[in-house]
Amino acid sequence: MYGYDQSAYTGHAGPTTQQPYGVPQQPPPPGYGPHPGQQGYPEPPPQVQPQASSHHAAQPQPTGPSSPPAPPSLTDALRAYTSGATSTEEFHDVFLSSKIYCPRGENPGFLALHNTQQPVIPLFTSLKELRRYAGKDSRYFTVTGGEVLDLLPSGYGFALDMEGEHRIVLDARAVEEMVDYTMRRMYG
């Protein structure tokens, strides 16, 4: 399986119970949803095709030694999103392409927390955040945020940086909205 980092495992340091996905589940109760004050995922803006003009020549783009600014890290995007400084769409765009750290159990797949209001998958923006939660020698694998949305079992939400200052918990319905929003943006 791709994305696995073969690090040592000494066990989970947190007080929660974890079970691999695929365990029979009950329908989730009303959940956490998007961050308070943030709306769900809106319809994507319509695609606009540039119009060619016969009387204006294309302007050459300036070139030089400066490169475009680096995209924000997922940690920065999460901090901005939870403080209300960035939109849901901007956070979503950063999440999709970012590396996500996932605790790893004995069996392949996500670990799920079942002692929460509804089952959630713990995800982390950095190895530092994962180790804060699961311990210094914990095993993990990495995937992109887009792969998380593709692989996450139906009926599960996720918690990003559970022990972090800027954590966010999205219930199963909010995750479905993220998936729907992604599909509309990709396929119209």
Domains and CATH numbers, the chain: 72-188 (3.40.1350.90)
Helices and strands, counts by H and E, the chain? 5, 8
- Rounded to a whole number of angstroms, the CA Rg of the chain reads 19
Distances 1 to 9, 87, 111, 131, 142 between C-alpha atoms, Å: 18, 34, 16, 22, 11
> Pick from 22, 37, 26: which is nearest to 83 by CA?
37
pLDDT of 64 reads 53
DSSP 3-state of 65: coil
Residue 114: phi and psi, rounded to 5, are -110, 5
What is the average pLDDT value for the chain, to the nearest integer? Answer: 75
Q: What's residue 46's pLDDT?
A: 57
How confident is residue 176, by pLDDT bands cut at 50, 70 and 90? very high
Task: For residues 118-136, give the mean pLDDT.
Answer: 94
What integer is the mean pLDDT of 88-115?
92
- What is the per-residue pLDDT for 70? 73
Helical axes 172-187 vs 88-97, angle rounded to 10°: 80
Distance CA 48, CA 42 (A): 18
First vs last C-alpha separation in the chain = 31
Question: Could you tell me the pLDDT band of residue 2, with boundaries at 50, 70 and 90?
Answer: very low
Query: Has residue 13 got a pLDDT over 60?
Result: no
Cα distances (Å, whole numbers) of residue 108 to 4, 19, 20, 28: 10, 11, 8, 24
**Tens digit of each residue's pLDDT (9 = 90 or more) over 24-76:** 333 333 444 444 444 555 555 555 555 554 444 455 555 556 667 777 899 99
Residue 64, SS3?
coil
Confidence (pTM): 0.63
